[in-house]
Amino acid sequence: MEKNIGEADDRPERAEPLSDTERDIIQDTWGHVYKNCDDVGVSVLIRFFINFPSAKQYFSQFQDLDDPEEMERSSQLRQHARRVMNAINSVVDNLHDPEKVSSVLALVGKAHALKHKVEPMYFKILSGVMLEVLSEDFPEFFTAEVQLVWTKLMAALYWHVTGAYTEAGWLQVSSSAV
């Protein structure tokens, strides 16, 4: 079991900034991924829901689907996969503009905190699943060095999203629900 993540005394003051080289690596590798964004997004969500079925509770349209092939055919799952990939694309496109990245992720965080009431730890889990899928599906681009850079980006995404949860009045960012 993980320790609680993101509680007031655990939260770093800011996300570790990416260097210019790291931004270039992310944008280059993302270019290859985003050409296949629909398939990649669906693969990520299917693995996420198979490995962490408790996450499906937030999706009334497909929470009862257990079979990966059924999930793949779900138009609602496909739409959500596209929204996830488009949000990441918006972040990657704007890595040179930290304020834009922050505002995109604040919107994502606030919507998930206030409207959807999603436990924030699912963002951390989803980012891990995404890194797994990208490494497996694009091994020629996702070398060990590139994976480290993407891990740093995902940590920054999580930091921004959980900051939005805190601003929205979410009292605790816990990982106890898995």
Residue 18 lies in a domain: no
> What tens digit of pLDDT does each residue of 14-72 get?
778 899 999 999 999 999 999 999 999 999 999 999 999 999 999 999 899 999 999 99
Cβ-contact 129, 137 below 8 angstroms: no
Residue 70 is part of which domain span?
28-168
Residue 19 lies in a domain: no
Residue 7 lies in a domain: no
Residue 22 lies in a domain: no
- Say how far apart CA 53 and CA 136 lie, in whole Å: 21
Say how many domains are in the chain. 1
Residue 178 lies in a domain: no
- Say how far apart CA 124 and CA 31 lie, in whole Å: 23
**Residue 54's pLDDT is what?**
94
Residue 3 lies in a domain: no
> What tens digit of pLDDT does each residue of 111-147 get?
999 999 999 999 999 999 999 999 999 999 999 999 9
Q: What is the CATH number of the domain that holds 69?
A: 1.10.490.10
Residue whose pair of structure tokens reads 């497909």 in the numeric block? 62
Residue 68 lies in a domain: yes
Residue 50 lies in a domain: yes
Distance of CA 166 to the CA centre of its chain: 18
- Say how far apart CA 14 and CA 27 lie, in whole Å: 22
Task: Using a pLDDT cut of 90, give the percent of the chain over it.
Answer: 83
**Residue 177's pLDDT is what?**
47
For residue 15, the SS3 value is coil
